[in-house]
Amino acid sequence: MTDADKNLHEFNRQMVWAGFRQLVPIAVFVTLFGAAFGLAAIQAGLQGSVIVAMSTLVFAGASQFAALELWGPQVSLFTLVITVFAINARHLLMGATLYPWLRHLPPAKRYGVMLIASDANWAMSLQAFNRGQPGIGLLLGGGLALWSFWVVGTWLGIYFGGAIQEPRSLGLDMVMGCFLLAMVVGGEKNLRLLMIWIVAACASLLAYWYLPDNSHVVVGALAGGLAGTFWTEKKNEH
């Protein structure tokens, strides 16, 4: 990694604001899913303040919907925690792919930025890094856009969500997946990233075939995260 590459982790308010604005179009769809979650949570019997607090503190749509499916006195808190961890285990892989740049930040900033990392802002920041452009502002600003629109969408769903009871019927559930696939496929490739994805994919497939249901999410993310941790960025890769 050259001296110029080491400066790619630097960011300021202008970069964060630019990242926020760049993710707003995607965040609009996040609002719709937030509204669907707010409505579903109300129907599950949760109070409005609890629902908004969940979206504010957890900020993970798939795991929040999964938690609603398990919600009830018959399910222990431990089961809910394990379920949320399993679904969000892919963040281990996200952290591994961003580690070459995040390691230059102080721990407080490093983990603070990753608190609002999600699929979309992670993919766009990684693509920026691979183009030789700063990506932390995009990661932080884009994360703030997605997070704020998710919380607002949740609030709208609590009070006005009846209009969007089933976003899948409109094909909205495919928007984020298609966006993420386009970002990953279109980004610059190197051997380290390729091997991380291969390790994660192979481990996930093996777990899918031979281990209990849904364990492939955790196994794939752990395998990819470990591969990225032990295979650090080489100096001549950028």
Per residue in 154-185, pLDDT (tens digit) is: 999 888 755 555 555 555 445 444 544 544 55
Question: 191 is written with which tokens?
Answer: 């051997």
**Position 189, amino acid:** K
- What's the whole-number mean pLDDT along residues 21-42? 87
- How many CB atoms lie under 10 A from the CB of residue 206? 14
SS3 track for 154-193: HHHHHHHHHHCCCHHHHCHHHHHHHHHHHHHHHCCCCHHH
Q: How confident is the model at residue 42 (pLDDT cuts 50, 70, 90)?
A: confident
Q: For the whole model, what pTM was predicted?
A: 0.69
| Torsion angle of the four alpha carbons 167, 172, 174, 176, in this order, in degrees rounded to the nearest 10 | -110
Residues 237/228, Cβ–Cβ less than 8 Å: no
pLDDT of amino acid 238: 42
Q: How confident is the model at residue 152 (pLDDT cuts 50, 70, 90)?
A: very high
Give the 3-state secondary structure of residue 189.
coil
Question: 125 is written with which tokens?
Answer: 């920041």
As a whole number of angstroms, the distance between CA 133 and CA 85 comes to 32
- With left for phi above 0 and alpha for psi between -120 and 50, is residue 12 left, alpha or beta? beta
Please identify which residue in the block is written with the tokens 């952290």.
95
- How many CB atoms lie under 10 A from the CB of residue 38? 28
* Higher local confidence (pLDDT), 105 or 185: 105
As a whole number of angstroms, the distance between CA 141 and CA 12 comes to 10
Q: How confident is the model at residue 215 (pLDDT cuts 50, 70, 90)?
A: low
Q: How confident is the model at residue 190 (pLDDT cuts 50, 70, 90)?
A: low
